[in-house]
């Protein structure tokens, strides 16, 4: 697809999707639950549970009592002992809530990300600082806990896409009918495209990506390509690209 046609398509879909009507139980998205609370800690939990079927994600998030983040660790353990979601067993869900509670007592997530980001305005450094901080707060090393929070990569080449974190950053930094815009210290020009296999495939079909591996380098490549259309806000096209693929508009 030629660049001017692609930009026209993306801009058209962007205008169409920039409405709160895009978030509903008919069009489920974890952002639907996150926006209900308008809280960076609850939003992080919503984003990191965002894998699998969208309806099931929203159903699970709706079942969680996020006020437990303000309760004792003993209370958290008692109240969440029967909750599980796919890779996360009940003990993982308990440990996740305890970890986020400890994070909340430590500092704002925005400050933690900014402390890594600020030197070179590099959001990857902000992400690595956030994950390292989170991992220092709880010793759990189960499959479910590790999958949920991940670890910083030993090298960029071959690293995963970190899609759920980049989606969370989009929610926090951008402000429109969809995104929450709770953060003020990170510039939206430095956001990185959240990429899963679905977005990866549609991006290749659209001509946004040549890379054949769905990894962190692919996410960076798509981001650079989108900067050609809007260098100040490349990730604004994320939701439009997602819906183009989801609704099979190509």
Which pair of structure tokens corresponds to residue 98? 């305890």
| Residue-wise pLDDT tens digits, 158-169 | 999 999 999 999
Rounded-to-integer distance, Cα 122 and Cα 190, Å: 7
| CA-to-CA separations, 125 to 62, 120, 122, in angstroms, rounded | 32, 9, 6
Helix (H) or strand (E) holding 145: helix 143-149
Q: Which tens digits make up the pLDDT trace of 112-157?
A: 999 999 999 999 999 999 999 999 999 999 999 999 999 999 999 9
Question: For 65-87, how does the pLDDT look when each residue is reduced to its tens digit (9 = 90+)?
Answer: 999 999 999 999 999 999 999 99
Q: What is the radius of gyration, based on Cα positions, of the chain?
A: 18
Q: SS3 for 180? A: strand
Structure-block tokens of residue 226: 């989108």
Q: Nearest-CA neighbor of 58 among 26, 79, 92, 33?
A: 33
pLDDT of residue 3: 65
pLDDT of residue 19: 87
């Amino acid at each position: 697809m030629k660049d001017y046609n692609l930009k026209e398509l993306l801009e058209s879909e962007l205008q169409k999707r920039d409405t709160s009507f895009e978030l509903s139980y008919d069009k489920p998205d974890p952002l639907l639950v996150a926006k209900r609370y308008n809280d960076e800690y609850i939003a992080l939990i919503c984003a990191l549970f965002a894998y699998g079927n969208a309806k099931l994600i929203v159903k699970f998030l709706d079942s969680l009592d996020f006020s437990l983040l303000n309760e004792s660790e003993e209370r958290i353990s008692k109240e969440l002992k029967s909750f599980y979601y796919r890779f996360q067993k009940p003990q993982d869900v308990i440990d996740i809530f305890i970890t986020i509670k400890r994070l909340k007592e430590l500092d704002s997530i925005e400050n933690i990300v900014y402390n890594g980001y600020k030197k070179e305005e590099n959001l990857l450094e902000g992400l690595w600082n956030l994950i390292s901080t989170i991992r220092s707060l709880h010793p759990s090393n189960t499959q479910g806990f590790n999958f949920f929070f991940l670890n910083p990569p030993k090298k960029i080449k071959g690293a995963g896409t970190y899609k759920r974190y980049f989606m969370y950053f989009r929610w926090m930094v951008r402000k429109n009918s969809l995104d929450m815009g709770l953060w003020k210290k990170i510039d939206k020009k430095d956001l990185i495209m959240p990429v899963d296999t679905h977005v990866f495939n549609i991006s290749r079909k659209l001509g946004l990506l040549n890379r054949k591996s769905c990894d962190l380098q692919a996410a960076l490549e798509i981001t650079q390509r989108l900067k050609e259309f809007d260098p100040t806000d490349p990730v604004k096209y994320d939701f439009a690209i997602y819906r183009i693929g989801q609704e099979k508009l190509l």
